[in-house]
Chains A and B, each alone.
Chain A
Amino acid sequence: MGLAMAGEPVTPQEWSQCLSAVATHQDRAAFARLFEYFAPRVKTFMRRSGADDAAAEELAQETLLMVWRKAAQFDPATAGAGAWIFTIARNLRVDALRRERGVSARAGDIDAEFLIDGAPTPDAVLAGQQADARVRAALKELSAEQKRVIELSFYQERAHGDIAAVLGIPLGTVKSRLRLAMSKLRILLDDLS
């Protein structure tokens, strides 16, 4: 508590350290720091995905609760901390959407659906923190608009429509810009490897 909680952990290294502390000795101060940083951002992610304020808040809490419970599964050698937390939020969002549509899912179902068996990818996948750094470097090369459009690809179609309306451009334009931005990103990521 106290000083340790004073600042938000802002670098991927700090997030990884906090996750390790949670995994190895259920460090609540480290968890509190992750919560302070990520819960409000996961909430924004859920809001932009179409959840109302109360649902977004609950999904953010559930996401961080899963971070606490699954911290031991986090492997800094294969995933960046931000990416790992993103996949937890993503899976909870898929689960929430499915329940909304009346499809019952058992605990762990969605996680299983994203678990792809198969040998690890060859040189394409970098160790977690390295990958984080490379992706951040690639994103810096994109224009603000391209970054915005890439952010859109993480939301459902209906949210695309909403944001197309906000930006005042047709949905088709959002999609073609997204395609361009993703191709550019792919080239950048390949160059950096």
Chain B
Amino acid sequence: MSIQHHPSEELLTAFAAGTLDRGQHIAAATHLGHCPACRGWVKSVENVGGAVLAELPPAPMAPDALSRIAPRLAEAPHQSASRRDGDSLPDVPGLPAFVRALPAEPWVWVAPSLHVRRIELGGTSPTRVFLLKSGPGTKLLPHTHTGFELTCVLTGSFTHDNRRYAVGDFDMGTPEDEHEIEIGTDEACISLVAMQGTLRLKGVFGRLLQPLISF
């Protein structure tokens, strides 16, 4: 099955340029692991980066710049290879290796058929990254959010505004959207979500649940 929904060119360009914040970077990297076409575009942007770099006007370096690093050329490169990255998410398929190596909290129940699992970025990233697991056929409450929300499907599928998102598909939610999401009936859906701002649920029931999802 091929991927139908991709990140915007802008987001992929920012990925290749290295200007995304860490949470957005993780969401984009997760999609890239699934999508050869987007990997191709990232490669192209890196090539553009090379051409841009090569054509920049030079800024004068100190006259002894090269001789100052000369002693370090003889040093053996630092081997960081001995470090072993753990896998804190062995039960979740489709994540890049560096995401697996990040500490993750256990699954937490937030609502019937709905669990979240937070991935720790260990810093002050404005973006929160978590996994969302919903049982087959679950209807998520209509919600809006105050910032962007990037989602990449890891297992199963969901439908959002009549568009179906399956494994590898990337959903870019903007604050204006009102999200009504229905999980595919075949199997549980696990997605990686990178979110800025807060989630707002609609309706009385939503307001009751709000404290539970403000993790």
User: Could you tell me which A residues sit within 8 Å of B by CB distance?
Assistant: 12, 26, 28, 31-32, 35-36, 38-45, 47-48, 56-57, 60-61, 64-65, 68-70, 79-87, 89-91, 93-94, 98, 101-103, 106-109, 112-122, 124-125, 131-132, 134-136, 139, 150-151, 153-157, 178-179, 182-183, 185-186, 189
Contact B19 A157 (CB under 8 A): yes
A89 to B10 alpha-carbon distance, docked (Å): 21
User: Which residues from chain B contact A124 at a C-beta distance below 8 Å?
Assistant: 36-37, 39-41, 43-44
Contact A183 B9 (CB under 8 A): yes
Contact A103 B13 (CB under 8 A): no
Distance from A10 Cβ to chain B, minimum over Cβ atoms (Å): 9
Overall SS of chain B's interface: helix
Distance from A76 Cβ to chain B, minimum over Cβ atoms (Å): 13
The chain B residue with its CB closest to the CB of A179 is: B10
User: Could you tell me which B residues sit within 8 Å of A by CB distance?
Assistant: 9-10, 13-14, 17-19, 22, 25, 29, 32-37, 39-44, 46-54, 56-62, 65-66, 68-69, 72-73, 77-78, 80, 83, 85, 96-98, 101, 122-124
Contact A45 B51 (CB under 8 A): no
A35 to B78 alpha-carbon distance, docked (Å): 21
Contact A103 B122 (CB under 8 A): yes
User: Which residues from chain A contact B98 at a C-beta distance below 8 Å?
Assistant: 109, 112-113, 115
Distance from B114 Cβ to chain A, minimum over Cβ atoms (Å): 29
User: Which residues from chain B contact A134 at a C-beta distance below 8 Å?
Assistant: 47
Distance from B97 Cβ to chain A, minimum over Cβ atoms (Å): 7
User: Which residues from chain A contact B50 at a C-beta distance below 8 Å?
Assistant: 80-86, 132, 135
Distance from B2 Cβ to chain A, minimum over Cβ atoms (Å): 12
Contact B19 A125 (CB under 8 A): no
Contact B124 A103 (CB under 8 A): yes
User: Which residues from chain B contact A155 at a C-beta distance below 8 Å?
Assistant: 17, 19
A47 to B183 alpha-carbon distance, docked (Å): 48
User: Which residues from chain A contact B54 at a C-beta distance below 8 Å?
Assistant: 12, 38, 41, 82
User: Which residues from chain A contact B124 at a C-beta distance below 8 Å?
Assistant: 101-103
A108 to B82 alpha-carbon distance, docked (Å): 12
Distance from B191 Cβ to chain A, minimum over Cβ atoms (Å): 19
User: Which residues from chain A contact B56 at a C-beta distance below 8 Å?
Assistant: 41, 44-45, 48, 151
Q: Given known contacts A117-B96, A119-B36, is B19 in contact with A35 (CB within 8 Å)? A: no
Contact A83 B46 (CB under 8 A): yes
User: Which residues from chain A contact B62 at a C-beta distance below 8 Å?
Assistant: 57
A79 to B51 alpha-carbon distance, docked (Å): 12
A115 to B97 alpha-carbon distance, docked (Å): 9
User: Which residues from chain B contact A118 at a C-beta distance below 8 Å?
Assistant: 32-36, 39
